[in-house]
Amino acid sequence: MATNRATMKPAKQQNSGQFSTFFIEDLFFGVDVLHVQEVLRFQPMTPVPQAPEVVEGLINLRGQIVTAIDMRRRLQMPQLAAGRTPMNIVVRTPDGAVSLLVDEIGDVLEIEAANYERPPDNLDPAAKELISGVYKMKNNLLLVLDTEKAVEVSGSLASLNSKLGAQSSESAANGRRPSPSASNATAGEQAEPSQSQGPAGKAAKRVASRKADGAVRLAKAVPV
């Protein structure tokens, strides 16, 4: 009997609670509200060269650099139609806050634990990999998103955030470099020694020497 009980693994249990919901295409997702930091409309993003494909860019949330992950790419879906912009659901993870780009934000719903089931076998494999379970509703099926799997990228997310934050800081620093006019002035000052060796420099020296000689002769001619 002990052997039989050991081989029968119970389904992962979900407590009843509130879920922040959102839509991606025709799929209806939910995330435990305790994992949600905030929900935002479309935010300007800074693209990051050589970032993983699912990373859309960086969002600056009141000084906090947050990586934005395109959930359509994560689910291997086509991009949004032209003219439509995604919305942000910022979730908390062990490696920091991450923004999930979704099509539309839904309501906050309270779901009973009795309605919880395993993910159905006919669910798309790309979606099933990110789903910890489902809740049967009256007119829909709520897919519970596993946020830790959803934000997985190549390498550690903490390392990625650190790298992207460093790139963002470097870009900001570049924006505070001296103005071109100041740079040109400095370059001009550095170029003077080489210019003085050319024909124009030699001519300037001859003119300056003549002026100096004239000033000396004038000083001798004027009685003290």
pLDDT in tens, 141-196: 999 999 999 998 865 454 555 555 555 555 545 544 333 333 333 333 333 443 44
Which pLDDT value is given to residue 223?
Answer: 45
Q: For position 155, what pLDDT does the model report?
A: 52
pLDDT, residue 119, reads 86
Residue 68: CATH number of its domain: 2.40.50.180
Residue 223 lies in a domain: no
Residue 211 resides in a domain: no
Domain count, the chain: 1
22 inside domain: yes
* Whole-number pLDDT of residue 94: 87
Dist. CA 55–CA 43, nearest whole Å: 14
| Residue 194 falls inside a structural domain | no
Please identify every stretch of the chain with a pLDDT value under 70, giving residue numbers as ranges: 1-16, 154-224
pLDDT at position 170 is 58
Q: Which domain holds residue 106?
A: 15-162
pTM (2 decimals)?
0.64
